[in-house]
């Protein structure tokens, strides 16, 4: 098969040899040679979003070879297969249809002989009805009070999406409504939220695709007991709803299935914020805004499907990532939103990217012989400029960064926003240009340093430059733009999965640790159980047993 021949293919070899020549080239020289570089290497999605990818270690030839690679990997066919509902998640034999959740023109999408759209539309309708009933006080708590504390209990894909999106859209929250998220099994997460809320005015949303996840079920049980202790068993139906694919387990847990919002196996956990899993977002910002988020994602879906690779934002971002990861030997990247509301985007994207593409077996079941998913980290600017940016500017690691910023401020503090904008633009420029030792020495001299000091300090004060970044400017951070931004990253990750010939939609790597934890649990609970682990794990279990005596 094609699979492990990827890195033996002609186009791969061409890229390897092209990379040898590109390694010596400085971006600042490329800018000097071509005054149209920025124009050439930038794209926009109407007024919603603008991408400048000119500060990358690429030239025309790099891009044309990368597009050739995408064609050689039959990317267009793979895109069609995903949108059509083919079972591209081969290890789990599932379709991958988060795009159906935002199929705003409602064309039929057939899975196993059945159009999935009527059920999707029915759940959207149910979400609208329920979210509005909660927001406007028509669905009340057991004692007749308005539900104003919305607590999402979920983890991983059933937490990170709604958490990130509702935080990003905080400005759109209905006055008086507060959202909380309980994910970690650490009892602190639960205790902290419960200490802030009143059972009479709280709605718990138990979000779990499988409804078997130990963290979520344990947290949900604790919250259920807390509610029943305060208001009695009959209150549960007025304070608990479930978001799940598993009706049986929802009923078993003691939530009326009338209060269940369904989604389906073709929606992966980390791709599920567009589904019923987004109920907390819909309650906080309103269903109209939730649907605007779907509209934004749909616009990107159309762009992704209908635009030539040469102008296709997710394709270009993906290929540049492949260029660094597989040819330049740079296996990491940073996502730096310059917007406090987007502070949780890096954590969300960490799951999206690293759980999707952190794989070492290809679609034919063979170990890959090339790098796959990179390491992703990030945080909100300008904060991170005062923390890990030292390494980004002067460290021995090169970390390509995606800088994301809205052009328009969220509030009246325009002066703050100008400083923010100036900073993000300065970072991209500084990383690209750097500062030579000669320039550093001249600056030191001009600052009145002695010749010895200049000699000693000049290297410390120099910057190698040639460090890549993408700049993504959003006109404004609103539900539509957020939907568009997230969909761009989803498709970027998909494209990379296609290039690497891996299944981006399973997550078997998270299973082993979970299983071992189930074995260790009784060993902690009962200290007479004999231990048969490695000597380190045995000693650690024994230490914890002793410390808790």
CA-to-CA distance for 402 and 53, rounded, in angstroms? 9
Residue nearer to ligand G6Q on the CB measure, 34 or 249: 249
- Nearest approach, Cβ of 254 to ligand G6Q (angstroms)? 17
Q: Does 270 interact with ligand G6Q (rule: CB under 6 A)? A: yes
Long-range pairs, 9-12, Cβ under 8 A, ≥24: 9/72, 11/65, 11/68, 11/69, 11/72, 12/69, 12/326
- Nearest approach, Cβ of 158 to ligand G6Q (angstroms)? 4
Q: Does 162 interact with ligand G6Q (rule: CB under 6 A)? A: no
356, 270 Cβ separation under 8 angstroms: yes
Site for ligand G6Q in 331-370 (CB under 6 A): 355
CA-to-CA distance for 301 and 195, rounded, in angstroms? 42
Q: Does 156 interact with ligand G6Q (rule: CB under 6 A)? A: yes
Residue nearer to ligand G6Q on the CB measure, 17 or 212: 212
Q: Which two tokens stand for residue 144?
A: 């007749």
Q: Does 157 interact with ligand G6Q (rule: CB under 6 A)? A: yes
Q: Which of 93, 175, 386, 532 is catalytic?
A: 386
H or E stretch covering 298: helix 287-306
- Cβ-based neighbours of 28, under 8 Å, separated by 6 or more: 432, 433, 434, 465, 466
**Residue nearest ligand G6Q, CB atom distance:** 156
CA-to-CA distance for 506 and 356, rounded, in angstroms? 7
Per CB under 6 A, the segment of 44-52, 142-150, 152-160, 467-475 that binds ligand G6Q is: 152-160
How many C-beta neighbours within 10 Å does residue 257 have? Answer: 12
- Nearest approach, Cβ of 531 to ligand G6Q (angstroms)? 28
- Nearest approach, Cβ of 155 to ligand G6Q (angstroms)? 5
Dihedral sign from CA coordinates of 299, 300, 306, 309: positive
- Nearest approach, Cβ of 224 to ligand G6Q (angstroms)? 16
State which of residues 268, 278, 296, 400 lies at the interface with ligand G6Q (CB under 6 A). 268
Q: Which residues pair with 149 in a beta bridge?
A: 178, 202
How many C-beta neighbours within 10 Å does residue 201 have? Answer: 17
State which of residues 216, 372, 470, 504 lies at the interface with ligand G6Q (CB under 6 A). 216
- Nearest approach, Cβ of 448 to ligand G6Q (angstroms)? 57
Q: Does 209 interact with ligand G6Q (rule: CB under 6 A)? A: yes
Number of residues that bind ligand G6Q (CB under 6 A): 14
Residue nearer to ligand G6Q on the CB measure, 33 or 212: 212
Residue nearer to ligand G6Q on the CB measure, 156 or 379: 156
State which of residues 19, 109, 124, 155 lies at the interface with ligand G6Q (CB under 6 A). 155
What SS3 class is residue 59? coil
Q: Which of 200, 355, 490, 523 is catalytic?
A: 355
- Nearest approach, Cβ of 94 to ligand G6Q (angstroms)? 12
Residue nearer to ligand G6Q on the CB measure, 131 or 216: 216
Residue nearer to ligand G6Q on the CB measure, 158 or 471: 158
Q: Does 89 interact with ligand G6Q (rule: CB under 6 A)? A: no
Residue nearer to ligand G6Q on the CB measure, 268 or 278: 268
- Nearest approach, Cβ of 355 to ligand G6Q (angstroms)? 6
State which of residues 95, 166, 213, 372 lies at the interface with ligand G6Q (CB under 6 A). 213
For the chain, the straight-line distance linking the first and the last C-alpha, in angstroms and rounded, comes to 58
State which of residues 210, 247, 364, 450 lies at the interface with ligand G6Q (CB under 6 A). 210
CA dihedral 302, 303, 305, 309 (to 10 degrees): 180
- Nearest approach, Cβ of 160 to ligand G6Q (angstroms)? 8
Whether 233 is catalytic is no
272, 98 Cβ separation under 8 angstroms: yes
- Nearest approach, Cβ of 216 to ligand G6Q (angstroms)? 5
CA-to-CA distance for 52 and 46, rounded, in angstroms? 14
DSSP 8-state assignment for residue 53: -
Residue nearer to ligand G6Q on the CB measure, 260 or 320: 260
CA distances (Å), 549 to each of 525, 532, 538, in order? 12, 21, 17
CA-to-CA distance for 100 and 139, rounded, in angstroms? 29
Whether 386 is catalytic is yes
Residue nearer to ligand G6Q on the CB measure, 137 or 358: 358
Q: Does 208 interact with ligand G6Q (rule: CB under 6 A)? A: yes
278, 294 Cβ separation under 8 angstroms: no
Whether 514 is catalytic is yes
Residue nearer to ligand G6Q on the CB measure, 217 or 473: 217
CA distances (Å), 248 to each of 205, 206, 522, in order? 17, 14, 27
3, 501 Cβ separation under 8 angstroms: yes
Which of 542, 340, 374, 341 lies closest to 468, judged by CA? 374
Per CB under 6 A, the segment of 19-27, 71-79, 209-217, 441-449 that binds ligand G6Q is: 209-217
- Nearest approach, Cβ of 248 to ligand G6Q (angstroms)? 14
Dihedral sign from CA coordinates of 321, 97, 80, 497: positive
3-state secondary structure 480-540: HHHHHHHHHHHHHHHHHHHHHCCCCCCCHHHHHHHHHHHHHHHHHHCCCCCCCCCHHHHHH
What SS3 class is residue 64? helix
Per CB under 6 A, the segment of 186-194, 263-271, 448-456, 479-487 that binds ligand G6Q is: 263-271
Q: Which two tokens stand for residue 250?
A: 């929802």
Residue nearer to ligand G6Q on the CB measure, 208 or 470: 208
Q: Does 507 interact with ligand G6Q (rule: CB under 6 A)? A: yes
Report, as residue numbers or ranges, the catalytic residues: 355, 386, 514
Binding site for ligand G6Q (CB under 6 A): 155-158, 208-210, 213, 216, 268-270, 355, 507
């Amino acid at each position: 098969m094609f699979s492990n021949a990827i890195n033996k293919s002609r186009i791969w070899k061409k890229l390897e040899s092209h990379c040898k020549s590109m390694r010596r080239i400085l971006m600042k020289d490329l800018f000097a040679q071509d005054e149209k570089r920025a124009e050439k290497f930038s794209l926009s999605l109407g007024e919603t979003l603008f991408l400048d990818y000119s500060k990358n270690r690429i030239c025309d030839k790099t891009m044309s070879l990368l597009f050739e690679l995408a064609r050689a990997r039959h990317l267009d066919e793979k895109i069609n297969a995903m949108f059509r509902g083919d079972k591209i998640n081969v290890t789990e034999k599932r379709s991958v249809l988060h795009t159906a959740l935002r199929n705003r023109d409602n064309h039929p999408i057939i899975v196993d002989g059945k159009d999935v759209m009527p059920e999707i539309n029915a759940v959207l309708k149910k979400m609208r009805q329920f979210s509005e009933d909660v927001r406007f006080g028509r669905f009340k708590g057991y004692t007749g009070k308005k539900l104003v504390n919305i607590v999402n209990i979920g983890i991983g894909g059933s937490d990170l999406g709604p958490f990130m999106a509702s935080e990003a859209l905080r400005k759109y929250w209905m006055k008086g409504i507060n959202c909380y998220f309980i994910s970690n099994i650490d009892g602190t997460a639960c205790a902290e939220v419960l200490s802030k809320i009143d059972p009479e005015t709280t709605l718990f949303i138990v979000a779990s695709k499988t409804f078997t996840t130990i963290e979520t079920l344990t947290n949900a049980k604790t919250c259920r007991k807390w509610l029943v202790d305060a208001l009695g068993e009959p209150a549960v139906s007025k304070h608990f709803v479930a978001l799940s694919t598993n009706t049986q387990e929802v009923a078993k847990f003691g939530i009326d299935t009338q209060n269940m919002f369904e989604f389906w196996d073709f929606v992966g956990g980390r791709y599920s914020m567009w589904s019923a899993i987004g109920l907390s977002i819909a309650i906080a910002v309103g269903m109209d805004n939730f649907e605007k988020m779907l509209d934004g994602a749909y616009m990107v879906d159309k762009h992704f499907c209908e635009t030539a690779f040469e102008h296709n934002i997710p394709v270009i971002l993906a290929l540049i990532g492949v260029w660094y990861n597989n040819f330049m030997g740079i296996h990491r990247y940073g996502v730096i939103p310059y917007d406090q509301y987007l502070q949780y985007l890096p954590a969300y994207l960490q799951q999206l990217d690293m759980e999707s593409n952190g794989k070492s077996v290809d679609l034919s079941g063979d170990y890959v012989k090339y790098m796959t998913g990179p390491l992703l980290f990030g945080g909100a600017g300008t904060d991170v400029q005062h923390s890990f940016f030292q390494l980004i500017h002067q460290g021995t690691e090169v970390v390509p960064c995606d800088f994301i910023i809205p052009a328009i401020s969220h509030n009246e503090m325009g002066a703050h926003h100008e400083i923010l904008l100036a900073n993000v633009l300065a970072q991209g420029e500084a990383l690209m240009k750097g500062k030579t030792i000669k320039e550093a020495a001249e600056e030191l001299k001009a600052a009145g340093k002695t010749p010895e000091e200049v000699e000693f300090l000049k290297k410390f004060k120099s910057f190698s430059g040639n460090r890549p970044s993408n700049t993504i400017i959003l006109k404004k951070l609103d539900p539509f733009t957020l939907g568009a931004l997230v969909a761009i990253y989803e498709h970027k990750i998909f494209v990379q999965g296609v290039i690497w010939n891996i299944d981006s939609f399973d997550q078997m790597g998270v299973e082993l640790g979970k299983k071992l934890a189930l074995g260790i649990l009784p060993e902690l609970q009962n200290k007479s159980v004999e231990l048969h682990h490695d000597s380190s794990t045995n000693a650690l279990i024994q230490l914890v047993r002793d410390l808790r005596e």
